[in-house]
Structure 1
């Protein structure tokens, strides 16, 4: 399939080539510069868990990265973030979403992030790591994660790569677009941008989005970033993240039923809308045990975020068939460390058997030839109780209470971790 590259990248290069002057630019300029699922989860928190208190912790999974020299700069950007308020046009944009309710918009009109709930310090280990701790009411801290991760990324890269290789990034992006259009049978293979949290910079992020919109057309389905969705008339995408189901470990009536409780509360709030369930907080086996016929028929599909995606897809499709669901009406969303060749392999495996969607993150928004930072901010406590995820990928688990992890594994019938998993934790 032929593509017409209109020069959009070159046209937008002026705002991308920021060089050393980038340090003068405020990184986050809108509270909408985050992922949609932060708002969808936040509305559930407002309506069902307004008194919940939580704690989040930061981790950089990339070895030998020294972030300590940038602590003051990160703090300064967070101070600026905490001065932001939602503008009226932003609230009106959110108000038009069918699943956003009026009282939530009224709350957001008064909302701001409070600096007292977040701290950034060098790690006492003295190894170049930094500690970011977010602690306070869930309702007032939930919007920190994505912009803070974007801040850490941009501060790091604008200091270490003062003359970025934008042309290399543009060439790589062109190649990805060409791969998606290489065969006529790929015409219905569609991708979305999920790359806010690990982007090289916000300006590069916007250039990538504009290029995908122009060159991919209908193959580009939208972005998880609400700000760029509003600014560039794209579809904002997202439902729930791990922290929601993790918090339900402390908020539900019984730990073993916490995943079921989370899905039920989600359905109570959205009444069939936003029907994509996250499958890997306790691993696929535990997910399938809880995702019974009721949930199979109630939810539109599920999202993959750890483990072997091909195995996950086959197991999910068989599960739908066993529960008398037409798999062709169900959606599988893949979002774990995707690149375009993997997207195409998954598309070839599952096309025609179900509806497919692909959320590509770091490989779109931070692929200029430098090693991206593998950084995360995860909830580790809710209402004073440890919470955790037990994903299907070694090293993705994050919990500072080993006794609780062992108990969680026992409750959900999950095998004890390997030495590799323990090292990753």
Structure 2
């Protein structure tokens, strides 16, 4: 059994789920799986994935897990009470080979947002672990341990980097659950205070670390169908978040419509209201420079704000970004696949993205080509027009 606790997911799933419970409990959504790594045949493992899904859907939150969630300042008691009754239902998930018979599989999740939002992270972790235990199950992890220790030593022992802190963001694409636990344990022992925490709630609880995360792309995408007119959907999403958390969890995600559109909406009010912004696509150095300039233009001292970097990072890139932006703002770094699936075999680039909400298509048009996932090209063209997004973006 790969997942044996519903806490084995990323924090932002719970923070978004609470907003859904309080503000959008009737929303209906659809998610779709995609493997971006070419030439991967997942069809032989469908039955194994289905078996793990069945096991996932038998889980409930244990009383001590609910007590742990109640210790979080930003979690409301009624949400924890709801989780005490919560159980994932496999009827919302369909898994099958794609019609082209090319080794790809189709996973679709359809149902109430409130009852499907927790599927994404554990399902991706299941696909990863099923694939790797079938294709490299006898792998000696000595290579992975050696690579990990080299990363720890590089960050810990390089002069002038004591203030550079990283967090584990690697649950979705980990080699295995056991390996992620070993990685985060080694990071805690080797880095000390240079480990800021982990996005994985189960590991944060087990290893006495800070759970980290705020919101994901799906939250802003859903507002394309939930908010007022489409052009105001990004503003509506940020305002709904502020209404829910009243100053907590104040990191805004900047790349659902690209940085230009984000900065047009992220006015002086939001600059002052939110603690910082997160980068997840495009050139991180150019992004950071523009965000810092935007703060200055809105009469906000950038040194009081946090830039969070989380797009495909490894330790050398973290250190380059730290050297470039240190002392100019506060910094945070989330490192994912390079920590939890760097053991030898090539990691899978797999995602589950929301593609519809309340019967309408939704999309992300980021600053990195190829990250968009929408089945309605006419809607994508309309979205570009509304948010003044060039056709070369997304």
Global fold match (TM > 0.5): yes
> 1:300: Cα distance to partner?
0.2
Q: How many residues align?
A: 394
1:126 aligns with 2:105: no
**Cα distance, 1:80 vs. partner?**
0.2
Residue in structure 2 matching 1:189, options 159, 164, 172: 164
The match for 1:241 is: 216
Give the superposition deviation at 1:369. 1.3
**CA–CA distance in structure 1, aligned partners of residues 174 and 158 of structure 2:** 29
Contact map agreement 1:52 1:139 (CA 8 A) in 2: yes
1:63 has 2:11 as partner: no
Q: Tell me which residue corresponds to 1:296.
A: 271
Distance (whole Å) between structure 2 residues aligned to residue 333 and residue 163 of structure 1: 37
- 1:204 alignment counterpart: 179
1:326 to 277, 295, 301: 301
Deviates more, 1:246-255 or 1:182-191: 182-191
1:356 to 331, 348, 368: 331
Aligned partners of 1:362 and 1:368: how far apart in 2? 10
Q: Deviations over 1:371-422 (max 9, x none)?
A: 100000000000000000000001101101000000000000000137xx6x
- Partner deviation per Cα, 1:320-365 (whole Å, 9 max, x = no partner): 0000001111000000000000000000000000000000000000
More displaced 10-residue stretch of structure 1: 161-170 or 232-241? 161-170
Tell me how far apart the structure 2 counterparts of residues 342 and 285 of structure 1 sit (CA, whole Å).
24
| TM-score calculated relative to the size of structure 2 | 0.99
Please list, as runs of the form range in 1=range in 2, the aligned pairs for 1:149-228 lying within 5 A after superposition: 149-228=124-203
Tell me the CA shift for residue 204 of structure 1: 0.3
1:165 is displaced (CA, Å) by 3.0
- Answer yes or no: is 1:261 the counterpart of 2:236: yes
Aligned partners of 1:302 and 1:116: how far apart in 2? 36
Residue 312 of structure 2 corresponds to residue 337 of structure 1: yes
Query: Among residues 377, 384, 391, which one is paired with 1:402 in the alignment?
Result: 377
Q: How does 1:66-77 map to 2 (within 5 A)?
A: 66-77=41-52
In 2, the alpha carbon distance for the partners of 1:415 and 1:326 equals: 31
Question: TM-score w.r.t. structure 1 length?
Answer: 0.92
Post-superposition shift, 1:184?
Answer: 2.5
Matched, 1:283 2:255: no
Query: Partner of 1:19 in structure 2?
Result: none
Counterpart CA distance in 2 for 1:349 and 1:357 is: 13
- Please provide the CA RMSD for this pair: 0.7
> In the alignment, does 2:115 pair up with 1:140?
yes
Conservation of the 8 A alpha-carbon contact between 1:55 and 1:382: yes
Q: Does 1:30 align with 2:5?
A: yes
Structure 1: distance between partners of 2:35 and 2:392: 21
Post-superposition CA distance 1:146-184 (Å, at most 9, x none): 000000000000000021231000000011011102323
Q: Which 10-residue stretch deviates more, 371-380 or 179-188? A: 179-188
CA distance in 1, matches of 2:253, 2:24: 20
Gaps of 5+ in 2: none
Supply the distance in 1 between the matched residues of 2:65 and 2:380 (Cα, whole angstroms).
40
Gaps of 5+ in 1: 1-25
1:329, 1:354 within 8 Å by CA — same for their partners in 2?
Answer: yes
How far does the alpha carbon of each residue in 1:292-329 deviate from its partner, in whole angstroms, 9 at most, with x for none? 00000000000000000000000000000000001111
